[in-house]
Chain A
Amino acid sequence: MEEIVLETQNLTVYYNGRPAIEGISLRIPRRRITAIIGPSGCGKSTLLRCFNRMNDLIPSARVTGRVLFEGVDLYGPDVDVVEVRRRIGMVFQKPNPFPKSIYENVAFGPRIQGIRDRRKLDEIVERCLRAAALWDEVKDKLHQNALTLSGGQQQRLCIARALATEPEVLLMDEPASALDPIATMKIEDLMRELAREYTIVIVTHNMQQAARVSDYTAFMLAGEDRVGRLIEFGPTQQIFTRPRDRRTEDYITGRFG
């Protein structure tokens, strides 16, 4: 029996009045890695950004349907968006550390929540950098600019930064697509490690990656009308070995995308 953390019910997102994804119903289990795969333009990132309401930042975006987090509708009337984003962290495609010190990057989240005690911040920074498997590499240069790190290190720093707000869910939008194979491997190992404590949703166009790291896989596809829909969802192994939908099979066997 899996516990459900996030659930979408008939979710549709419109940009400028035109649907980008439509009728998505999906349940994401706790402390598992769920991969969302599909060709580019199928709305994977749009779906991911519904889970922490990042779509709110796009003025023309409108959302219908429901997104439940622990049973509460994230788009409900009295929901605090800031609290949502604190509890559901996000890592982006291109590493985007703040051009500040490594320490300040991790401390930013706790700081804006009002944590000022230096000892407590130190403790949080160390814990999160350790959790992101970065502590040993940076512990002697915490006050160096984060931009001096390599791409892979920057991305792990972004993960540490996301962990610092103590989220339950981590959303990852193609987190390794800008990295070399070795850095990618490190990120994937880290994801497996983090899945012991966190629920992870990862968007990727790399099917091998989805197969390697995820427990569950959702396959999305945009039809002729360029509206993204969920084609199939299930345990990763089943999706990759016994897909029920012909289009899923076409995609994972590389016939398009």
Chain B
Amino acid sequence: MGLTSRSAAEIYTVRLQRGVAARWREWGELAIQGLLLFAAMVSVFTTLGIVAVLVVEAIPFFQQVSLVEFLTDPQWTPLFAQKHFGILPLVAGTFLTSAVALALAMPVGLLSAIYLSEYAPVRVRAILKPALEVLAGIPTVVYGYFALLFVTPLLKRVVPDLETFNALSAGLTMGVMIIPLISSLSEDALYAVPSSLREAAYALGATRLEVALRVVIPAALSGIVASFILAASRAVGETMIVAIAAGQRPILTLDPRRAIETMTAYIVQVSLGDTPHGTLEFRTIFAVGLVLFLLTLVFNLIALRIIERYREVYR
């Protein structure tokens, strides 16, 4: 065909090579990338910072209080003359309020997820879904106000012997707060179930209820479970509602009518007081914080793992 390469290629050769300007430009690009990476690493530093702070303050605490006492002593009285450092009452308080909250939020949240994904007409869904999100956007201190000044007086009419500060109304209010969390995460999971599965069930003569309960929910189960776990993590870490409405009395009880104290409320109590920094009493909040952090960390990691897995399945 008579094709030949051009002879004067050298003229161009020089210009394609990186010159001084190109090298400067590349250094600039690299510097920008480094800065951006640093910003992304802030989250890693934050995690490290949290762990470091909690551990550094918890170590001197555990040098004075044995881990066995911390985990088994049924009394928590670090601010009194007769000091006991058993975290069990705080854990029980946290468990109690969280259990009440989840007992409300899990069924209600799941039912509303089912309604929104399987029943609601498009227009109803377009209104209800963002309206539910509003619940999640209300500051927790407002829920605390509501629990103490509205829910508790209301419950006192029906629940005998309900104390003014109690785990029940704090837990119920917290439950309302986390309904949207469960509802929207569960709905994502239900929504991700392929419609071919539903159609197959309808073709076999199943009713809508049967399709929802026997086909869609089982298929979305892992996502629903993940939403429950995240909700539990949220309930365990919730602070203002319980600090306002559940009380500041660390007793070991499972009676939701009584005033109790959660781990988070205890941290608030000490922060508001005049306990000097650096004392054993003050360090208790880091020991409690460490337990709280580890607890929520485990919940979060399990939920994240589940979510990651079911996203892969339906990708």
**Are B16 and A80 in contact (CB-based, < 8 A)?**
yes
* B137 CB within 8 Å of chain A: no
Q: How far is the CB of B33 from chain A (nearest CB, A)?
A: 14
A215 to chain B, nearest CB (A): 12
Residues facing B in A72-88 (CB within 8 A) are 72, 74, 78-80, 82-84, 87
B11's nearest neighbour on chain A, judged by CB, is: A70
Report the minimal beta-carbon distance from A239 to chain B, rounded to whole angstroms.
Answer: 12
| B18 and A4 contacting across the interface, CB-CB below 8 Å | no
Check A3 for interface membership: any CB of B closer than 8 A.
yes
> Which residues from chain B contact A5 at a C-beta distance below 8 Å?
6
Verify B5–A79 contact, CB threshold 8 A: no
Contact partner of B16 (CB less than 8 A), chosen from A2, A4, A27, A83, is: A83
Classify chain A's interface size. Answer: 20 to 34
CA distance A83 to B21 in the complex (A): 11
Contacts of B12 in A (CB 8 A): 69-72
Is A97 among interface residues, defined by CB-CB distance under 8 A?
no
> Chain A: interface secondary structure?
strand
Q: How far is the CB of A216 from chain B (nearest CB, A)?
A: 9
Contacts of A29 in B (CB 8 A): 3
B29's nearest neighbour on chain A, judged by CB, is A82
Contact yes or no, A80 B1, CB < 8 A: no
For B22, give its contact among A3, A7, A72, A83 (CB under 8 Å): A83
On whether the beta carbons of B1 and A234 are closer than 8 Å, the reply is yes
Query: B1 near A72 (CB under 8 angstroms)?
Result: no
Residue in contact with A71 in the complex, picked from B3, B9, B17, CB distance below 8 Å? B9
Q: Which among A29, A80, A84 has the highest number of chain B CB atoms within 10 Å? A: A80
CB distance from B34 to the nearest CB of A (A): 19
Contact A2 B2 (CB under 8 A): yes
What residues on A are CB-neighbors of B17 within 8 Å?
78-80
- The interface bits of chain A over 129-160 (1 if a CB of B lies within 8 angstroms of the residue's CB, else 0) are 00000000000000000000000000000000
A182 within 8 A of B: no
Residues of the A chain whose Cβ atoms lie less than 8 Å from the Cβ of B196: none
Asked if B25 is at the interface (CB within 8 A of a chain A CB), the reply is: yes
Q: B3, A72: Cβ atoms under 8 Å? A: no
Q: Is the CB of B2 within 8 A of A72?
A: no
B16 touches A3 (CB 8 A): no
Most buried by B among A2, A71, A84: A71
Question: What distance in Å separates the Cβ of B29 from its nearest Cβ neighbour in chain A?
Answer: 10
Residues from chain B with Cβ under 8 Å of A58 in the complex: none
B1, B15, B22: which has the most chain A beta carbons within 10 Å?
A: B1
Separation in Å of the A116 CB from the closest CB of chain B? 16
Tell me if B13 counts as interface (CB < 8 A to partner A): yes
Query: Out of B2, B5, B18, B19, which one reaches A7, CB within 8 Å?
Result: B5
Whole-angstrom CA separation of A27 from B9 in the bound complex: 15
**Contact yes or no, A3 B13, CB < 8 A:** no
Q: Is B25 a contact partner of A82 (Cβ separation < 8 A)? A: yes
Chosen A-B contacts, 14 in total, with CB atoms closer than 8 Å, are: A1-B4, A2-B3, A3-B5, A27-B3, A68-B5, A71-B12, A78-B17, A79-B16, A79-B18, A80-B18, A82-B22, A83-B16, A87-B16, A235-B1
A-binding residues in B (CB < 8 A): 1-6, 9-10, 12-13, 15-19, 22, 25
Given contacts A27-B3, A80-B17, A83-B18, 9 further A-B contacts (CB under 8 A): A3-B4, A4-B5, A68-B5, A70-B6, A70-B9, A79-B16, A80-B16, A80-B19, A83-B22
Closest 7 CB pairs between A and B?
A71-B9, A70-B12, A80-B18, A80-B22, A3-B6, A4-B5, A70-B9
